Structure 1
Amino acid sequence: MKKRVSIILVILAGLKLCAQNTYVFFGSFNHDKETEGVYVYELDTLKGKLSKVTSAKGVLNPSFLTLSEDGKYVFACTDSKTKNAGSVSSFEFNPEKRSLTFINSQKSGGENPVYLAAHKNGKWLINGNYTEGSVSVYPISENGWIQPRVQNFQFSEGSVNPDRQDRAHIHSTVFSPDFNYVFLPDLGADKIRAYRFDSEVKEPLKEADKPFTQAVLGSGPRHFAFHPNGKFAYCIEEMGGAVSVYRYDAGTLEPIQRINTHSDHLKGDFESSDVHISPDGRYLYASNRGSENNIAIFSILNDGTLKTVGYQSTKGKHPRTFTIDSTGKFLIVAHPVSGTAVVFKRNTETGLLKKTGREVKLNGVSTVQIRKY
Structure 2
Amino acid sequence: MIAFVLLLVAFATCCCAGAPHGLETLLVSSYNDGNETSGFVRALRAAKISHDSWDLTTVFSDPTSCGRSPSWLTLDEKRGILYCLDEGLDTPNGSINTFKITRGRHGKIEPADNKETVSGPVSAVLYGPKHKQFLVAAHYTGSAVTTWETKKDGGIEYGEVFDFEMDAPGPDPDRQDAPHPHQAILDPTGKFILIPDLGADLVRVYSFDGKTGDLTAQSPLVAKPGSGPRHGAFFTWKSKQCKKGCTNFYLVSELENTVTTYSVAYGKGGNLTFTETAVISTFGDGPTPDGAAAAEILVSPDHRFVTVSNRNDTSFAIPEGANVQLKSDSLATFSIKSDGSLKFENLASAAGSFPRAISFNKKGNMVAVAHQYSKSLVLLDRNPVTGFIGGELARMNDLGNLTSVVWG
Q: Which amino acid aligns with 2:300?
A: S
Corresponding residue for residue 8 of structure 1: none
List per-residue Cα deviations over 1:251-288 (Å, max 9, x = no partner): 33221111000252225533110000101111100001
2:356 to 303, 320, 333: 320
- The yes-or-no answer on 1:369 pairing with 2:391 is no
List per-residue Cα deviations over 1:135-175 (Å, max 9, x = no partner): 0000001111111x211101112422111111100000101
Corresponding residue for residue 236 of structure 1: 252
Distance in 1 between residues matched to 2:374 and 2:231, nearest whole Å: 22
Q: 1:88 to 1:299 in 2, by over 3 A?
A: same
What does 1:163-182 correspond to in 2, within 5 Å? 163-182=174-193
Q: 1:350 to 1:71 in 2, by over 3 A?
A: farther
Alpha-carbon offset, residue 51 of structure 1 = 2.4
Distance in 2 between residues matched to 1:267 and 1:24, nearest whole Å: 31
Larger relative strand fraction: 2
Corresponding residue for residue 31 of structure 2: 29
* Percentage of matched positions with identical amino acids: 26
Distance in 2 between residues matched to 1:52 and 1:234, nearest whole Å: 34
Corresponding residue for residue 161 of structure 2: 152
SS at match of 1:169: coil
**Stretch of structure 1 that moved more, 247-256 or 339-348:** 247-256
Q: 1:38 to 1:168 in 2, by over 3 A?
A: same
Alpha-carbon offset, residue 368 of structure 1 = 0.2
Query: Where in structure 2 are there 5+ consecutive unaligned residues?
Result: 1-16, 238-245, 267-271, 315-328
Distance in 1 between residues matched to 2:25 and 2:107, nearest whole Å: 10
Distance in 2 between residues matched to 1:78 and 1:307, nearest whole Å: 36
Q: How many residue pairs end up in the alignment? A: 350
Corresponding residue for residue 78 of structure 1: 86
1:256 to 246, 270, 277: 277
SS at match of 1:44: strand
Q: Which amino acid aligns with 2:112?
A: I
SS at match of 2:276: strand
- The yes-or-no answer on 1:188 pairing with 2:199 is yes
Corresponding residue for residue 143 of structure 2: 133
List per-residue Cα deviations over 1:218-259 (Å, max 9, x = no partner): 110001111254711111111010111111233332211110
Distance in 2 between residues matched to 1:177 and 1:131, nearest whole Å: 28
SS at match of 1:231: strand
Q: 1:19 to 1:71 in 2, by over 3 A?
A: same
Corresponding residue for residue 285 of structure 1: 307
Corresponding residue for residue 123 of structure 2: 115
TM-score by length of 1: 0.88
Corresponding residue for residue 102 of structure 1: 111
Distance in 2 between residues matched to 1:266 and 1:123, nearest whole Å: 41
Distance in 2 between residues matched to 1:124 and 1:18, nearest whole Å: 25
List per-residue Cα deviations over 1:10-68 (Å, max 9, x = no partner): xxxxxxx8864531000000268755610001223564432222111213211111111
Corresponding residue for residue 330 of structure 1: 366
Distance in 2 between residues matched to 1:19 and 1:25, nearest whole Å: 14
2:337 to 291, 296, 301: 301
Q: 1:317 to 1:91 in 2, by over 3 A?
A: same
Corresponding residue for residue 246 of structure 1: 262
Distance in 1 between residues matched to 2:358 and 2:79, nearest whole Å: 18
Q: 1:170 to 1:18 in 2, by over 3 A?
A: closer
Q: Which amino acid aligns with 1:29?
A: Y
What does 1:50-89 correspond to in 2, within 5 Å? 50-58=56-64, 59=66, 60-70=68-78, 72-89=80-97
Distance in 2 between residues matched to 1:203 and 1:65, nearest whole Å: 20
Contact 2:43 2:61 in 1 (8 A): yes
Instruction: Give RMSD over aligned pairs.
Output: 2.0
Distance in 1 between residues matched to 2:277 and 2:193, nearest whole Å: 20
Q: 1:31 to 1:106 in 2, by over 3 A?
A: farther
1:39 to 37, 42, 61: 42
Corresponding residue for residue 357 of structure 1: 393
TM-score by length of 2: 0.81
Corresponding residue for residue 319 of structure 2: none
Contact 2:123 2:183 in 1 (8 A): yes
Corresponding residue for residue 273 of structure 1: 295
- The yes-or-no answer on 1:206 pairing with 2:216 is yes
Distance in 2 between residues matched to 1:173 and 1:290, nearest whole Å: 24
